[in-house]
Structure 1
């Protein structure tokens, strides 16, 4: 993953570092409220109680700020994925427990962070740096859950366990992201529909992993 310094000039003094920290955290807070294209740099500065001069001393403009904010946010998200993976490893036993735990954890991490992730995904179409960092983050985070499923390989009946796991994770992520509207404004459905979706995805993934495809 790139570092914040790849997109922003590193503050040298303690007060400047604190100001830039407030800018990063304040921008993340604003992204939880509405899309980045509806947020102005002036608003960010007002929210964070910093001058526009202080902001421009760190980044060249709004696009560069979003790249730096993405780095900070994805670092935090990686920690959340690691914590969830460790929890599942400690609590779940066997494929029938690991699968629903993975599906629920992936979905709820996406749901809890949907508003922020949405801004990154929408911007990625026009910003290669945002796109590359987002894809790398997803691969690294999903690998933590894939490792949990791989540890249950002896229970998987599919003739190509690795392929079956990868395909399942891809379909689950795509379905959850679509439901949450990560590639558009807003999401779909209410809490009851979300919980039903997680259950259905768990059942489908488990059925696929326990399915033995016919020889072709």
Structure 2
């Protein structure tokens, strides 16, 4: 029996048959943009390649020249989204490193940055997370993206290791990210069709999660 991770690993970076330049490249980009817009507008993947063709002003034939199926196209969209988000994550970590003068400041800045990062990307993350339940490639790419975020955040939080009061700093930092991510993901409706709170709730949620996480890291014990 083939392990699921082994089965999907070769497909984690699908690109379609990507052209390098000229009008073919422009057409390819319109396909990706159209599919992304449809995912965001509908909140799921309930659209056909004919919808992509109409939105992107490309022919069905040109889509099939680049992608074997709608699945392939959506996987290529996710790869593009993940690349953009990785760039955003790197910028976020840079800001945290530059402006954080203590553990408390670092953690509260991190919580604020993570919240707004997820909120900006929520419109496309929601349909991708819904699709992950049935698409092992999308699921594996999402897992890989999350693991990359964990690695970056862990390194940043542990740069203040001497200020962490928890007897297991690595575990405490991992739990801090998991708790913050889960709280914001739930509010933003990841795995569902929309937001679950109000603007006032969002502001309070960010503040309270920041307080809880910084207090936990400074004073947590077992």
TM-score, with structure 1 as normaliser: 0.92
Distance 1:103 1:28 in 2: 27
CA change 1:108–1:12 in 2 (3 A) is closer
SS at structure 1 position matched to 2:134? coil
State the match for 1:168 in structure 2. Answer: 176
Distance 2:18 2:61 in 1: 15
Distance 1:28 1:212 in 2: 42
State the match for 2:78 in structure 1. Answer: 70
Q: Confirm whether residue 141 of structure 1 aligns to residue 176 of structure 2.
A: no
Q: Deviations over 1:151-201 (max 9, x none)?
A: 011000000011101011111111111111101111111111111101111
Structure 1: runs of 5+ lacking an equivalent: none
CA change 1:93–1:43 in 2 (3 A) is same
Is the contact between residue 45 and residue 51 of structure 1 (CA under 8 Å) also seen in structure 2?
Answer: yes
Offset at residue 212 of structure 1 (A): 4.2
Is the contact between residue 34 and residue 115 of structure 1 (CA under 8 Å) also seen in structure 2?
Answer: no
Q: Confirm whether residue 18 of structure 1 aligns to residue 40 of structure 2.
A: no
Distance 2:108 2:38 in 1: 32
Offset at residue 9 of structure 1 (A): 2.0
Distance 2:103 2:210 in 1: 11
Is the contact between residue 158 and residue 212 of structure 1 (CA under 8 Å) also seen in structure 2?
Answer: yes
Offset at residue 25 of structure 1 (A): 2.0
Distance 2:131 2:125 in 1: 10
State the match for 2:212 in structure 1. Answer: 204
TM-score, with structure 2 as normaliser: 0.90
Distance 1:169 1:72 in 2: 24
State the match for 1:3 in structure 2. Answer: 13
Q: Confirm whether residue 183 of structure 1 aligns to residue 191 of structure 2.
A: yes
Q: Confirm whether residue 152 of structure 1 aligns to residue 160 of structure 2.
A: yes
Offset at residue 13 of structure 1 (A): 5.9
Offset at residue 142 of structure 1 (A): 2.9
State the match for 1:119 in structure 2. Answer: 127
Is the contact between residue 39 and residue 124 of structure 2 (CA under 8 Å) also seen in structure 1?
Answer: yes
